[in-house]
A and B are shown apart, each in its own frame.
Chain A
Amino acid sequence: MSTFVRESLIVFNRQLRMNLRNPAWVIIGMLQPVLYLLLFGPLLEPVISQLGGNKYTWFVPGMLVQLGIFGAFFAGFSLIGEWREGVIEAERVTPASRAALLFGRLYRDLLQLFVQAVILVVLGLALGMDFNLAGILLGVVLTLLLGGACAAASNAFALTVKSEDVMAPVINLVMMPVLLLSGILLPMSFGADWLDRLSDFMPIRHVVDAVRGAFFGDYDVSTLGWGVGWTVLLFGAAVWWGVSVFRRENA
């Protein structure tokens, strides 16, 4: 086993143990997708029926991306607590790779997201979502990459500002346009033309479109290309930022 994998798994194990010791968060994390599907899904019925197609095949991909982004945005909060107690510095005086210190934490966020995705997809299928295995797998992979990007960015930002008071409003500031302009709850093509055009500038909109397309088994090259492109780009940029913050002297 390479040193990097070994070190990141040590960090991951430790993070997982700390998460599981706080079962309230685990339960909330699991309940979120269930509640959205059961309580919000039926509200969409009349709207989605205008578009044609299965309402859950519309709705589940949006929920998936939402969980991926918003859960991950908060990942950095626990890092600030660890930093305050000297854990980050203690890890940084070990010979472990700085990237492993970040990736161990990302694995934890990705595992949580993966479990949520499985719950969401299984429940969606039970409620009548179209079954399209390849598309679902592709959608989940894209979501995991996007979630990883958000978690890495959240960790990097947390370790830069080192203050929950700065972090909370910034997350809210970022989340609003993301939620409103990426077509998570309803497809952007539903709205006015100018809103649709505006949302073209929101990278996550393209990811949502690609995930939704994949769930429908509609592999439109342009939609998929933009979605995959943005996902990979965001993931690469956020991981680079995260690793450089862990590497930086003053972190």
Chain B
Amino acid sequence: MITARGLVQTFETRQGRTRTSVTAVDGVDLDVAEGEIVGFLGPNGAGKTTTLRILTTLLKPTAGTATVAGYDVATQPVQVRRSIGYCSQVGSTFSGAYAGDEVVDHGMLYGMSRKDATREGQRLFEQLQLDGLWRRMPKNMSGGQKRRLDIVMGLIHRPSLIFLDEPTTGLDPQARANLWGHIQRLRGEQGATVFLTTHYLDEADALADRIVIIDKGRIVASDTADNLKAQVAGDLVTLEVATDDQVATARDKLGSISADLEVQGRSVSGRVGRAGRAVPGLLRELEASGVTLESIEVARPTLDDVFLSLTGRTLRDAEAAAEAAPEPEGVPA
């Protein structure tokens, strides 16, 4: 559905008289199969939106090639546009127009008749739980309703591939979970391929069949969430012992099955491969050695751990760095 090879995008930015060239996307390769939900994960400023804008024909790449739905983004942009739906971060409807009107007009720009666009729009309104809001203005809708309206806009012409740019940014947890359900149903009911960008780890984890991680304009990993987590050496086991004199024993016992131990006060932690199998034996040994546990915690690796192991920084640190130096806005070089 999507094949990209060596995509590069550089921007020229100007501050006063000095011009600087910033590389937002630096040699991105992508392969997305039909029917997949792919999460494109990375901190702000990593190049997610720029990549998405190239794939949706809004931006011509400085170098590299991409085909989307079988068409070349550079030489067949109109065919690409016909085949895809796109929900941008900022929305797609005018706040002071009726939602239904916006949807129908949008469908008609794809060549649908008014009747077809109306029928399909109303069906999507129902499917995305927007019934009764056809004659409501987006300015009078909740954040979640507005995002669902954007998805209706992106789906009105029944595309086989839909791009969602940070679909749940700014939504409350309940609205997010609700939207995730809708996105998963899209694939189920329409057989649509979904390519979504996000900087939320839980979102990529919950939604995507496959996660592509981008950092500083480069793809650093691409796999299922489980496989990515398995690359991080094991689950994090944290023991908290009852007294100070038991710390050394606990450290020895955990150390026999884990390499990188960390001790903080009465808490000993380390990564253990297949913790589910190893922990019962560990508990028996600890008990036999007379160690009393206050608590034991086993945490599966998170995508943040994956990000840390791949880039040497946590996603949160990367976000903070990006905040300090926002994504360049300028003209394509």
Contact = CB atoms under 8 A, between A and B. Distances in A.
B33 interface: no
A89 B58 contact: yes
A85 B91 contact: yes
B269 interface: no
B93 interface: yes
Nearest to B78: A95
A95 B111 contact: yes
Given A93-B81, A93-B84, A95-B78, A17 B97 contact: yes
A85 B90 contact: yes
A250 interface: yes
A89 B332 contact: no
A91 interface: yes
A93 B93 contact: no
B94 A87 contact: yes
Nearest to A89: B88
A17 B135 CA distance: 14
A87 B93 contact: yes
A87 B105 contact: no
B57 interface: yes
A94 B106 contact: yes
A100 to B, nearest CB: 9
Given A93-B56, A95-B110, A249-B58, A85 B105 contact: no
Contacts of B40: none
A105 B91 CA distance: 20
Interface string A81-108: 1101111011111111000000000000
Contacts of B331: 250
B213 interface: no
Contacts of A95: 78-79, 81-82, 109-111
B58 A18 contact: no
Q: Which of B81, B86, B109, B153 gathers the greatest number of chain A CB atoms within 10 Å? A: B109
A7 B109 CA distance: 6
Contact of A86 (B78, B81, B88): B88
Interface residues of B, number: 33
Contacts of A7: 109
B300 interface: no
A10 B109 contact: yes
B59 A96 contact: no
Given A86-B91, A93-B81, A250-B331, A13 B105 contact: yes
A14 B97 contact: yes
Nearest to B139: A85
Contacts of A89: 58, 88, 90, 92
Contacts of B89: 86
B224 interface: no
A91 B109 contact: yes
Contacts of B59: 249-250
Nearest to A82: B94
Given A87-B94, A89-B92, A250 B109 contact: no
Contacts of A11: 105, 109
Q: Which of A3, A13, A86 gathers the greatest number of chain B CB atoms within 10 Å? A: A86
Contacts of B88: 86, 89-90
Interface string B71-111: 00000001101101010111111111100011001101111
Interface in A1-49: 3, 7, 10-11, 13-14, 17-18, 21-22
Contacts of B108: 10
A17 B101 contact: yes
Interface of B: 56-60, 78-79, 81-82, 84, 86, 88-97, 101-102, 105-106, 108-111, 150, 153, 331-332
30 contacts: A10-B105, A10-B108, A11-B105, A13-B105, A14-B102, A17-B101, A18-B96, A18-B97, A21-B96, A81-B94, A85-B92, A85-B95, A86-B90, A86-B92, A86-B93, A87-B93, A89-B88, A89-B92, A90-B92, A90-B93, A91-B106, A92-B58, A93-B56, A93-B86, A94-B81, A94-B106, A96-B109, A249-B59, A250-B59, A250-B331
Interface of A: 3, 7, 10-11, 13-14, 17-18, 21-22, 81-82, 84-87, 89-96, 249-250
Given A93-B81, A93-B84, A94-B106, 14 more contacts: A3-B111, A11-B105, A14-B102, A17-B101, A18-B97, A85-B92, A86-B90, A89-B58, A94-B81, A95-B111, A249-B58, A250-B59, A250-B331, A250-B332
Give 8 nearest A-B pairs by CB, closest first: A90-B92, A86-B90, A94-B109, A86-B91, A93-B86, A95-B81, A96-B109, A95-B78
